[in-house]
Amino acid sequence: MSAAPPRVAVVTDSTAYLPADLVDRYRLTVVPLQVVVGGRSLAEGVEVTSAEVAAALREWRPVTTSRPAPQTFVETYRRLGVPEIVSVHLSADLSGTVDAARVAAKEVAADGVSVVVVDSRSLGMGLGLTARAAAEAVEQGADAEAAARLARRYALEVGIWLYVDTLDYLRRGGRVGAASAMVGSALAVKPLLHLADGRLEPLERVRTASRALARLEELAVRAAGDGPVDLAVQHLAASDRAREMAERLLRRVPQVRSMTVSEVGAVVGAHVGPGMLGVVVAPAH
């Protein structure tokens, strides 16, 4: 007897940066954001790589990002051919992607497709793990509304901390205030940031990269505590740093269900710049 066709699908966007095996395992559909490099609009993960964006940033070539068009979501939702969809996306304070998904959800409602849009208040693997949580709920029989509720609760428990070599890239993208960037540059400090309620906020400024990374490690260990957690270490053009951080966290965090080490894609990379290192701590339910 063949399995019944799925009734609920889970959609996310390309800033989730989930490894391909997890995308396949949980049957996630990924909608790409756009990266504009040198006047050319390119689909993240399809037409432009992290390395290309890092090179453009180092050369001070203009790099900007944009949300998917609502029509892209409409086409995606219709193509899935299911009556219910959970659409989980990066923080609305960082992108208009959620708004585009909501516009599309209203349009496909006339086709009898119910789309529940979730603002994860997160990005990167914080978003990716939240989308995975929604997919796990669907696997266990949840409808779209129930899976969305679970995803929203889960997202509140995810912690994200970032080290960046400079705040200049975030300032240029409007993600931190110009005054914060100017202070950081003037003092030649290494900023740490925290994703708080969907916004990237400067947390601390440390004199050297080694001290900043040690502090990043301490913040992650403290957040992990003694319970089971999923960890992710993400970077842009800093693979050695990322591997070293992952190894240290595996030694110090007592219950790690999974560890993912990966490079962020072009969209996040365009705002954080080369050298970024981020740590994601999420509950392992």
Task: Give the model confidence (pLDDT) of 82-129 as tens digits.
Answer: 999 999 999 999 999 999 999 999 999 999 999 999 999 999 999 999
Task: State the average pLDDT for the chain.
Answer: 89
CATH label of the domain that carries residue 196: 3.30.1180.10
Query: Is 242 part of a structural domain of the chain?
Result: yes
Pair (228, 126) in one structural domain = no
Last-in-domain residue among 138, 156, 174: 156
If asked whether residues 148 and 169 sit together in one domain, one would say no
Question: How many domains is the chain built from?
Answer: 2
Last residue of a domain, one of 156, 185, 218: 156
Q: What CATH number did the domain enclosing 146 receive?
A: 3.40.50.10170
- With a cut of 80, say whether residue 81 has pLDDT above it: yes
Range of the domain at 222: 159-283
At 237, list the tokens.
């053009």
Residues 149 and 166 in one domain: no
134 and 172 belong to one structural domain: no
Domain membership flag for residue 2 = no
Please check whether residues 150 and 163 belong to one and the same domain.
no
185 vs 167: CA distance, rounded Å: 8
The Cα 111–Cα 18 span in angstroms is 30
Mean pLDDT of 127-151: 97
Q: Mark whether 114 and 185 lie in a shared domain.
A: no
pLDDT the model gives residue 137: 97
| Banded pLDDT at 169 (limits 50, 70, 90) | low
pLDDT > 70: percent of the chain: 90
The reply to whether 210 falls in a domain is yes
Cα separation, 184 vs 178, whole angstroms: 10
Is the domain of 177 the same as that of 245? yes
Question: 182-235 pLDDT, tens per residue?
Answer: 444 544 578 899 998 888 888 888 888 899 999 999 999 999 999 999 999 999
Beta-carbon neighbour count of residue 89 at 10 Å?
33
Q: Is residue 59 part of a domain?
A: no
Distance CA 77, CA 126 (A): 23
Residue 55 falls inside a structural domain: no
- One domain, residues 147 and 271: no
The last residue of a domain, from among 156, 178, 197: 156
Beta bridge partners of 206: 190
Split at pLDDT 50, 70, 90, the class of 178 is very low
Please check whether residue 40 lies inside any domain of the structure: no
- Do residues 254 and 279 share a domain? yes
Res 144 pLDDT > 70? yes
